[in-house]
Structure 1
Amino acid sequence: MVVFLFLIFVASYLHMTNGVFHMSVLDVVKTILRFEKNEQFDLVIFEFRLPRVVIAGLVGMGLALAGTVLQGITKNSLADPGIIGINAGASTAVVIFMFFFQVRLMDASLNSWVSILMMPIFGFVGGTIAAALIFLFAAKKRQLDMQRLILTGIAINSGFGALTMYLSLKMNASDYESAALWMAGSIYNGNWIFILSMLPWLLLFGVYVYKKAHLLDYFQLEDSQIISLGIELEKEKVKLLLASVALVSACVSVSGSIGFIGLMAPHIAKQLLGIHHRYIIPSSALIGAALLILADFIGKTVFAPAELAVGIVVSIIGIPYFLYLLVKAKD
């Protein structure tokens, strides 16, 4: 845990001190702790860099927690909210909201705080519909078939992706530009309202998931063995699935669709710590935060002054990792 916290600190340090406007560590510390008031430094830190780092950390944690739950429920280390279509369902619902209510997340201001706070709710509805469809078609005699789950997830992902693209093409030019950038997975224009909109969801459902860590351990057993322990298997699965969807929805509402964090972070945590979820859950959250902060820093600096959406950076890292897991699963 100390190592993961150190990695988050290093990634945050790089993010806060580098950019078009360079700042020293001393400048950052003085500005945050209010030792020295400087309007220019205040603007850069509190309006641009600090909210972006905090959002990256929170989104990374939320996606990692959601991925941990999905992998535990499905007993499949390849399960990820982005791969099996939950991200796509939440994204479609948010784009529908943007389309009908003319909300531009990339240019959102404090005046649109009500709309921003409503985003996770719409995302939750879309993610729940996607999850329900996936589990409906993947169930075989009331049991989840893992191969059908992945295939159904890919199909649902493609279907919602097509619907999202269709709706975005119906927008006017400026709204489409905003929606397209958001769909690529971007947090470059995040502000404190975005943080407030997702923080209650992350705290509430993150704590719930951690309290259910023992159930995720039991879910690694055969279903008949779990039921023999007196656990209401399907009921608990639905509760945890809804918690996972809620976490994804909150993240998607502020960052767009970012895949592979929910795949990589839990898998890395399991490789390092074993199978006990009371250790995996917090460690996975910290790994997800570190990965996304670092990925956003790379997207911000590698092609400066232009920026690469963090979702694209994560995909560049995540796709080879996913293929590695596929090859390993065959062995």
Structure 2
Amino acid sequence: MAMIYSVFIALILLVCYFSITMGVFSVHPLDLLSTLFQINPNEQNSILLFELRLPRIVTAGLVGLGLGIAGAVIQAITRNGLADPGILGINAGAGAAIVGYLLMFKGQMDSQSLLSAMGMPFFGLIGGLLAAIFIMMFAWHGGGFDSGRIILVGIAINSGFSAISLYLSLKMNPNDFEMAMLWRNGSISAANWTYIQAALPWLLLFIPFLIAKSHVLDTIRFDEDIVKSLGISSNLEKLVLLCACVGIISACVSISGSMGFVGLIAPHISRRLAGVLHRYSLPLSGLIGMFLVLLADLAGKLLFQPTEVPAGIILAIFGVPYFLYLLFKQKKAVH
């Protein structure tokens, strides 16, 4: 396991290195080191590094970590390998609430104000919880999640909240509309330290909590009768775990918009490499999520110059075929 973790940490560091040194303005590695450690610092390099590229890298890493772990937990709760925060509509619910928050301020948002930024995860939590409530209402059957219904319900919820988000964004002034479009497409180009400060407490609270619940996640994948015989309240645990996931997803959506398919792909790769025990697969899923979002952001920044493609679109390009592959594989396994 240590070797697998080491490989992904090395890959993450490599992508971070390219993200820092490459772009519209390239930075020589020696200039990078001198700026990073404030040895004969250059003002232009300092602005480029500390105000533009480092916040972007940290944001991408946090979003990937959070969505990778949340996706793995949601798949364990629902017992469905196709479950993903984006597909189930939790991302869309959080995003619609955040767009509503932006609309309420009507141009008064200040991206450097911590108070303004702190409001976005709270509104995202409300929207994400609302989406989760709809999922439980329509996909809950016979004392548990119906795996056959949950994807259909999620797609419907996703479409509904996306339509609400689009409707609200059309009522904004041009500046706020542009900001809302970044959230809808899943972009990290507007990253700054203020947004990171607003999201970090949520991630520091819920990610360790979910990892500490690894033994519960290992247990609830068994039949309900077995879980009850072990003295575990399955439905209560699922509710608590789902709320923690929504908190993480809301924080991630508030700083990056809707990043789809990270929570789908990362857990699958993690389980193949680390097995089904969550104390191993959960942290690895977070690392894989970090790698995917960092790589997507780097690709969107470099491959389409002079324009830039949001990381969410890059992830969707690869995520949709992977989702269809999993859907076909699951259908084949049933037959």
TM-score, length-normalised on structure 1?
Answer: 0.97
How many angstroms apart in 2 are the aligned matches of 1:222 and 1:300?
46
The CA deviation at 1:93 is 0.5
Contact 1:104–1:175 (CA under 8 A) maintained in structure 2: no
Q: 1:67 aligns with which of 64, 71, 81?
A: 71
Aligned length: 328
How many angstroms apart in 2 are the aligned matches of 1:104 and 1:40?
30
Contact 1:104–1:178 (CA under 8 A) maintained in structure 2: no
Write the letter of the residue equivalent to 1:188: S
Aligned match of 1:46: 50
- Over residues 95-128 of structure 1, what are the superposed CA-to-partner deviations in whole Å (9 max), with x where a residue is unaligned? 00000113587xx532x22110111010001100
Q: 2:30 aligns with which of 6, 23, 26?
A: 26
Aligned match of 1:164: 165
Aligned match of 1:94: 98
How many angstroms apart in 1 are the aligned matches of 2:267 and 2:40?
41
The CA deviation at 1:327 is 1.7
Contact 1:57–1:289 (CA under 8 A) maintained in structure 2: yes
Q: How does 1:1-331 map to 2 (within 5 A)?
A: 1-102=5-106, 108-110=110-112, 112-331=113-332
Contact 2:71–2:264 (CA under 8 A) maintained in structure 1: yes
The CA deviation at 1:215 is 0.7
The CA deviation at 1:205 is 0.1
- Over residues 259-279 of structure 1, what are the superposed CA-to-partner deviations in whole Å (9 max), with x where a residue is unaligned? 000001111000111101000
Contact 2:106–2:173 (CA under 8 A) maintained in structure 1: no
SS at match of 1:190: coil
Q: Quick one: percent identity of the two aligned structures?
A: 50
SS at match of 1:164: helix
- Gap runs ≥5 in structure 2: none
- Gap runs ≥5 in structure 1: none
The CA deviation at 1:304 is 1.1
Write the letter of the residue equivalent to 1:299: G
The CA deviation at 1:212 is 0.2
- Over residues 282-324 of structure 1, what are the superposed CA-to-partner deviations in whole Å (9 max), with x where a residue is unaligned? 1111110011001000000111121001100110111111111
Contact 1:259–1:311 (CA under 8 A) maintained in structure 2: yes
Write the letter of the residue equivalent to 1:300: K
TM-score, length-normalised on structure 2?
Answer: 0.96
SS at match of 2:152: helix
How many angstroms apart in 2 are the aligned matches of 1:156 and 1:326?
19
Write the letter of the residue equivalent to 1:208: F
CA RMSD of aligned residues (A): 1.2
Specify whether residues 312 and 104 from structure 1 end up closer, same or farther in structure 2 by C-alpha distance, changes over 3 A only: farther
How many angstroms apart in 1 are the aligned matches of 2:270 and 2:23?
31
Find runs of 4+ consecutive structure 1 residues off by over 3 angstroms.
none
How many angstroms apart in 2 are the aligned matches of 1:178 and 1:188?
11
How many angstroms apart in 2 are the aligned matches of 1:190 and 1:13?
18
The CA deviation at 1:142 is 2.6
How many angstroms apart in 2 are the aligned matches of 1:271 and 1:104?
47
The CA deviation at 1:24 is 1.6
